[in-house]
Amino acid sequence: MNLDTPKKFAMLIEQAKQVADNFYRPISRKYDRAEHAYPKELDMLASLLDGMNEGSDEAAGATSASKRPSTDGNTGIRNGGNLSVALGTMELCRGDTGLLLSIPRQGLGNAAIAAVANDEQLARFKGKWAAMAITEPSCGSDSAAIRTTAIKDGDDYILNGEKIYVTAGARAECVVVWATLDKSLGKAAIKSFVVEHGTPGMEVTRLEHKLGIKASDTAAINFTDCRVPAANLLGTPEIDLKKGFAGVMETFDNTRPLVAAMAVGVAAASIERMKELLADHIDPNYGTPPLNSSHAEATLYRLEAEWEAARLLTLKAAWMADNKQPNSKDASICKAKAGRVANEVTLKCVELAASLGYGEDELLEKWSRDSKILDIFEGTQQIQQLIIARRVLGKSSAQLK
């Protein structure tokens, strides 16, 4: 594994760093306090990202996260869209995770469309802001237990059900909805549909009040006899009992490294700030052995080592996707590691900073609140460990629950 960041991404990383430091952080506290208020400042940033992403394999947006063959003719080892979006996300989340999740046309639904849509759908939904709706009141971590139904009716599907905790669910222009074509066939019948806001039968019922990422709206959405064109079903409409859940689950292979990258970013912000606060008490060159260090210095060394491991695992999973290598296990490994590390790092930094870390004069307390969701959505810590165990032991979901 090459531990160096590809030089061609240097400009992208520097631009994302500048956005985090000079754009996100100055408005971070404002939108943390003004929950559900849309950050209008993001409109300009979204336009800039659209321009950067146009026709580029080194783009910074969610639509770059795909396992599709490259159009540049390069058939060798490559560093492409998945790696670039992971690196950009890490830097942007040094600024504010909630603001990142609120950028128009950069939702998790956009990554889902990029993962499984056909060429016609990619063209039709290009430029749309897409949220992703999976979780239901009756099923959280068990995506296979989805009860929202999609019944074929002529050239349409009729959706009925309720989705909760939909990130950007109220602001996005459309929502990628997971629904089952036939409950009796289990998880193999689950498909994803693009439902545009304004479609009759689709209703945002409430916005959630949350611990963190308050700049991002989190919605509950009801679907009541909601008629969706059959052309909006992502992937194939056929139910493949042998392939099972694998089709829609490919989405997670792309989105879990992105969430891991968010966790790496917010943890990096906390570590950097603690280094600044403890500048007079730590050795910046790591010359003092941990056993001879102060408790604070030794703790910071340990946290940084854990953070570096999470960062490298995340980049590996993204690189594997760029090179069309199966990365389901690695996507879960990096998500589990980074989510747990972000929680530990941000909370420990609050502790090390004492009363300063607990107050609103510092962003440390905000980063600790924001980090918690990164160990929950896109699959909880426990679910990731279960998936990893199945992959390592060669067990099916029925054999290892």
Q: Quick one: fold of 246-393?
A: Butyryl-CoA Dehydrogenase, subunit A; domain 3 (1.20.140)
Q: What is the pLDDT of residue 108?
A: 85
CATH of 7-124, one of 3.40.50, 1.20.120, 1.10.540, 3.40.1130: 1.10.540
Domains 130-234 and 246-393 share a fold: no
Q: What is the pLDDT of residue 244?
A: 55
Catalytic site residue 272? no
> 276 with 282: CB under 8 angstroms?
no
What's the predicted TM-score (pTM) here?
Answer: 0.93
Residues of the chain with pLDDT under 70: 1, 52-75, 242-248
pLDDT by residue (tens digit) across 188-230?
899 999 999 999 999 999 999 999 999 999 999 999 999 999 9
Report d(CA 93, CA 357) in Å as an integer: 19
Q: What is the pLDDT of residue 284?
A: 86
- The domain covering 130-234 belongs, at the CATH homologous superfamily level, to Butyryl-CoA Dehydrogenase, subunit A, domain 2 (2.40.110.10)
Pairing of strands 174-180, 233-234: unpaired
From the list 136, 173, 365, 378, the catalytic residue is: 378
Q: How many H helices and E strands in the chain?
A: 13, 8
Q: What is the pLDDT of residue 77?
A: 82
Q: What is the pLDDT of residue 384?
A: 96
Q: What is the pLDDT of residue 145?
A: 85
> 386 with 400: CB under 8 angstroms?
yes
What are the tokens at 280?
């007079």
Q: What is the pLDDT of residue 235?
A: 86
Task: Report which residue type is found at 180.
Answer: T
Q: What is the pLDDT of residue 316?
A: 96
Q: What is the pLDDT of residue 65?
A: 61
Task: Report which residue type is found at 269.
Answer: A
> What is the phi/psi pair of residue 8, to 5°?
-70, -15
Q: What is the pLDDT of residue 121?
A: 95
Report d(CA 60, CA 77) in Å as an integer: 20
Parse the chain into domains and list their residue ranges: 7-124, 130-234, 246-393
Q: What is the pLDDT of residue 78?
A: 86
Q: What is the pLDDT of residue 400?
A: 93
